[in-house]
Amino acid sequence: MADDFQRFERDVHDRLAPTYRDRFEPVTALAVEGLLEAAGVREGGRHGDLAAGSGVVALGALAKGARVDAYDLSPGMLAILEGRAPAIHAVAATVDRLPVADGHYDTLTMGFGIGHLPAPEAAVAEALRVLRPGGRIALSWWADRDENRVNGLFVDLIEELALSAPPERLPPGPPIFRFADRKALVRLLDDGGFVDVCLETLAFRHVVPAAADWWAIGRGAFARVSAILDAQSPEAQERIRMLFLERAEAYRDGDGIGIPIRFHVVSGSAPMGQA
């Protein structure tokens, strides 16, 4: 099942890569500075960005003067990154099997990737392997849906309307909100052997001109949401869209829609005694 879900993630993100960049990257970019600061990314350091997507975190690391490698399952996402910054070494790879030697990196980041992984513990173990002793990793993931509404409103409607997709469209995957729990996110690094683990929760408000722009974010960037909506009839999709637009109007603020964004950034260091 894990292989099926990884193929799903790769294929859907290949298809959504351009709209992910255009519609959702302004949201994920809100985490860039927090991730780079928590990981301690510095000029001249070797940095690896895991589950890099269209590359907003990798680009931030490059701007700080780091030597950056970026890893993602999706060739479509990596093609966007390569077009933006040829200086970044973009590699199609799973984050639990990185093609580098032990202790290769000074710092690592993973922006909103950990909740997509069928085996997050394996990814953390691999991160520990490729970090030098004292090297640091920082991960971000969304807070619970009642606090982080950018995807929460979609999930609310899917559950309320009992929407689903057949397994050939959407294979079983990891629980979306597992790492919305602060303790679970800290425990992931603690149990993975990291030390000096810290967690910070950040909150923002992302403003879009209209409710339809919020709908476009979900349809153009959220893999599981997109798969579930695509499995519905055209008539049902339109009913769901109209209901979403109605609910989204509750967040109108002046001339725009203010979407509450809330996420956690957890970081930790590889032990100094690591071989």
Contact (CB, 8 A) for 192 and 118: no
Q: What is the pLDDT of residue 254?
A: 87
pTM, full prediction: 0.95
Could you tell me which of 177, 113, 139, 150 has the C-alpha nearest to residue 261? 150
Non-local CB neighbours of 250 within 8 Å, separated by 6+ positions: none
DSSP-derived letter for residue 275 is -
Q: Scanning the structure block, which residue is given the tokens 């997050």?
A: 120
Q: Which amino acid is at 230?
A: D
Distance CA 6, CA 240 (A): 27
Could you tell me which of 69, 44, 34 has the C-alpha nearest to residue 55? 69
Contact (CB, 8 A) for 52 and 98: no
Q: What is the pLDDT of residue 1?
A: 56
Could you say which residues of the chain have pLDDT below 70?
1, 274-275
Burial letters for 119-138: b for 16+ Cβ neighbours within 10 Å, e otherwise? ebebbbebbbbbbbeebbbb
Distance CA 188, CA 98 (A): 19
Give the pair of three-digit tokens for residue 86.
């040829």
Distance CA 80, CA 82 (A): 6
Distance CA 185, CA 157 (A): 26
